[in-house]
Amino acid sequence: MDKFTIKDMNLYYGKFHALKGVNLNMPKNQITAFIGPSGCGKSTLLKSLNRMNDLVEGCKITGDIRLDGEDIYGNIDINILRKRVGMVFQKANPFPMSVYDNIAYGPRTHGIKSKAKLDEIVESSLKDAAIWDELKDRLKKSALGLSGGQQQRLCIARALAVKPEVLLMDEATSALDPISTGKIEELCLKLKNQYTIIMVTHNMQQALRIADNTAFFLLGKMIEYGNTDQIFSNPREKETEEYITGRFG
Amino acid sequence: MREYYDIQLNDLNNQIIEMGSLVEKSVAYSAMALVKSDIDRINKVSEYESAINRKEKDIESLCVNLIMHNQPVAKDLRFISAALKLVTDLERIGDHAEDIAEISKFVDSQNCHLDKTVFSEIADTAVNMVNLGVDAFIKRDLDLAQKVAEMDNTVDQLFIEIRQKLVSGLKSGEYDSAPALDLFLATKYFERIGDHAVNIAEWVVYSLTGKLENLDDYGIEE
């Protein structure tokens, strides 16, 4: 079953045509990776999935993007959309507050006040993000004192705390060491049973390791989309072949 | 971009050409050794066999290094993995060529009352299959690969005919049993060389199309 469906989507930043005629269906409970050289539009597309581009002046989107069949650019409450579609960024961005308050921030803004309920959410989110054991004795300490890898898993836990359905990851491991990267990749494989994960990555080995499907973008066009094993063993398009074998890009 | 990587891939291709050439000569000489009882050729096959084994190790080592250093994907990955499999088939062909040469040494010293030219056709066909298989790889030619698969039927048919001939010659007492058995073994080696050539053709198909096809029943699905 498809979680996101994108049909004839075009995106313009002013006069710049950043995404051209994108058609893409992303299955539920799978990991989909977007790859392509810098400036190809992959992060722009990712941000369109929870309407982060609304904040960009001059950004215009045409076409159709649906989440579970519902038009996300129609009459949808944008706060609800962003609750359903969480995002983790390249650079970990914990709030300057305690580990506990970072996680509880989202649920509190959605109206949860009960201490017991918040305790439960903090614990389950940190457990889901595979960082509970490391942080359970430091819940009241500042999140800014954590290592980069811990901060990023904290941000994943913070995204999970509001029980999203989709997790968008924009180069979420690119600033991390291999051990932390490995932990987050393992985490993605575990989380996909409950969530749909869509990631932008410059690390093609990462897409190979964990993504079920991979889409290759070039100059605003989606050149090829398919099963990751097929894309990396026998791509249909010459541009994909040249990019993934490192011969241009 | 990736100039050094491309140089290494090119080196791999050249090394396979060299190994293929050694194997082609080895099989051709073993066929001549058997049919024409040529002692010089027999000794040459043994020399080739050692060179083939060394080449196999060199190519395997190069493939492992390429994988380790470059994490190849797509056509590069298919080419390198096909090369790794293909050298094993080439090496086995070299072994069989040596086996045939050894048999010719032995059979020639006996009075076998057997016209060895009956082996010419199966030997020639097997030699051609090896040549075409290696050519298909070098030229990246699917048609040649398919031709190799088709030729295997001829080899299989000739194997059956020679077997029948040997059996009836043994029954009638026309042939001595020991050389007849040795020659039957040599025939089997040619038949196996044909099978290895088909394997090479299959790796050519995989390298070019990504399809792991069984070409035994000849015919490459589009």
Distance CA B149, CA B171 (A): 34
Report yes or no: B23 and B90 within 8 Å, Cβ to Cβ.
yes
ipTM for the predicted complex comes to 0.75
Is the CB of B210 inside 8 Å of chain A's CB atoms? Answer: yes
Residues in chain B: 222
pLDDT value of position B220? 43
**Interhelix angle A99-109/A115-128, nearest 10 degrees:** 110
Distance CA A132, CA A139 (A): 9
Is the CB of B72 inside 8 Å of chain A's CB atoms? Answer: yes
pLDDT digits 0-9 by tens, A206-244: 999 999 999 999 999 999 999 999 999 999 999 999 999
Q: Which of chain B's residues have a Cβ under 8 Å away from the Cβ of A240?
A: 74
Q: Has residue B221 got a pLDDT over 50?
A: no
Distance CA B114, CA B67 (A): 51
Q: Has residue B48 got a pLDDT over 70?
A: yes
Closest Cα in chain B, distance from residue A61 (Å): 34
List domains and CATH numbers for chain A: 2-244 (3.40.50.300)
Give the count of Cβ contacts less than 8 A between chain A and B.
33
Which residue of chain A is at minimal alpha-carbon distance from B71? A205
Weakest-pLDDT range from A21-30, A110-119, A188-197, B173-182: B173-182
% of residues, chain B, pLDDT over 70: 94
pTM here is 0.84
% of residues, chain B, pLDDT over 90: 73
Report yes or no: B119 and B48 within 8 Å, Cβ to Cβ.
no
**CB A248 to CB B71 under 8 A?**
no
Closest Cα in chain B, distance from residue A247 (Å): 6
Question: Which letter, b or e, does each residue of A1-31 get, where b requires 16 or more Cβ atoms within 10 Å of its Cβ?
Answer: ebbbebeebebeeeeeebbeebebebeeebb
Q: Which of chain B's residues have a Cβ under 8 Å away from the Cβ of A248?
A: 1
List domains and CATH numbers for chain B: 3-209 (1.20.58.220)
pLDDT value of position B112? 64
pLDDT value of position A176? 84
Q: Has residue B109 got a pLDDT over 80?
A: no
pLDDT value of position A74? 93
Q: Which amino acid is at B194?
A: G
